Structure 1
């Protein structure tokens, strides 16, 4: 049986999840990152995506996040998300509103900011397709 470690995911509105888990998949800005017990210390920014949490009993929880950062250290993993919600709470209207907000940001941005906004929009579109919402 794999060893567990403490994981906490917090958004400005609430504590989303706080428990001991065996694995967490993070949508890090440089690519997907899997964290397990005794992971090397690291900090990374988080892009829009799905955090997949695997519990010791084998069950999984999937959480939508939109930006933030993750801190991996001897005390476990803390993920502070700008926006976060369980995918079971995410509906097509909420995601459509996030997509519209991202599209508006692309339309209003200039230069390098337009590229960053476009990547954000692309990440959200990928999530929509992944969740079939």
Structure 2
């Protein structure tokens, strides 16, 4: 079994987590991926989704992130999140506000097709999160 992985989760407001963990599941732009100790190094962009942290003792915590970057080295993972909040702190209005903000961004980009395409993808990712985090 792999040893512990050092995990840091940082948002613009604060350092949320800095500890040794068993594994972390991250919402990468190409899909969710799991990081354990001794993982091959790489860096990727994250999409809105849930980071799932499994502690050394098997406890699981879930953090909603609205994009950012994940930097994996052999013994550590650093997540730099644009926005992060514990899933248990989420509510339907918080996610709805994120969706409204993304819809406004889409309108603001008008004829800028490159930025508009990125904004549409971001909006669709948020709507997916809205569907599976917040019960109907």
Which bin holds the TM-score, normalised by the shorter protein?
A: over 0.9
SS state of the match for residue 40, structure 2? coil
> Structure 2-normalised TM-score?
0.91
SS state of the match for residue 70, structure 1? strand
Is residue 16–residue 86 contact of structure 1 (8 Å, CA) maintained in 2?
no
What is the CA distance between 1:74 and its match in structure 2? 3.4
Q: Are residues 1:94 and 2:85 paired?
A: no
Match of 1:25 in 2: 25
Match of 2:12 in 1: 12
Q: Distance in 2 between matches of 1:58 and 1:130?
A: 23
Q: Distance in 2 between matches of 1:52 and 1:132?
A: 17
For this pair of structures, how many residues does the alignment match? 133
Q: Alpha-carbon deviations, 1:20-68, whole Å to 9, x = none?
A: 1111111111221110110001111111111111112111111011111
Q: Distance in 1 between matches of 2:130 and 2:53?
A: 19
What is the CA distance between 1:132 and its match in structure 2? 2.0
Cα RMSD (Å): 1.4
Is residue 91–residue 134 contact of structure 2 (8 Å, CA) maintained in 1?
no
Q: Distance in 2 between matches of 1:6 and 1:79?
A: 11
Residue ranges of structure 1 left out of the alignment (5+ in a row): none
SS state of the match for residue 105, structure 1? helix
Is residue 99–residue 121 contact of structure 1 (8 Å, CA) maintained in 2?
yes
Q: Alpha-carbon deviations, 1:91-126, whole Å to 9, x = none?
A: 222111111000111122231211111110111111
Moved over 3 A (4+): none
Match of 1:115 in 2: 117
Q: Distance in 2 between matches of 1:124 and 1:3?
A: 34
